[in-house]
């Protein structure tokens, strides 16, 4: 019986990453082009979060709504066109 339990646990474990990867098929991060600087630190107003600009590009998690709103509202950044 222990082997049956282990097999069912292994099957569940192996199927969980598959579900996770399909869940995250949407973009996990967004890229913005910095129009003014090639490197600097973007500090999200009203939070303690910051993101580095490297090679005129800043990458933020799509889940960070405050950062995405800030970057979209600023004239210094534009969504990165891939």
Q: What is the pLDDT of residues 19-75, one digit of tens each?
A: 433 344 446 999 999 999 999 999 999 999 999 999 999 999 999 999 999 999 999
Query: Smallest Cα–Cα separation from 32: which of 76, 2, 66?
Result: 76
Return the structure tokens found at 20. Answer: 């996770």
Q: What is the pLDDT of residue 82?
A: 66
Report the alpha-carbon distance of residue 41 to residue 14 in Å, rounded: 39
Q: Tell me, what's the pLDDT at 1?
A: 47
Q: What is the pTM of this model?
A: 0.65
Candidates 61, 2, 60; CA nearest to 34 is: 60
pLDDT number for residue 11: 45
**Token duo for residue 40:** 């600097």
Q: Which pLDDT belongs to residue 60?
A: 97
Q: Check if the beta carbon of residue 28 is closer than 8 Å to that of residue 62.
A: yes
Going by pLDDT thresholds of 50, 70 and 90, the confidence category of residue 7 is very low
């Amino acid at each position: 019986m222990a082997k049956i339990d282990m097999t069912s646990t292994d099957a569940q474990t192996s199927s969980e990453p598959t579900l996770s990867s399909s869940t995250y098929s949407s973009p996990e991060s967004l890229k913005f082009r910095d129009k003014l600087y090639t490197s600097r630190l973007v500090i999200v107003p009203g939070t303690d979060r910051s993101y580095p600009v490297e090679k005129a590009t800043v990458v933020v998690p799509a889940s960070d709504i405050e950062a995405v709103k800030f970057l979209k509202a600023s004239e210094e950044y534009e969504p990165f066109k891939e």
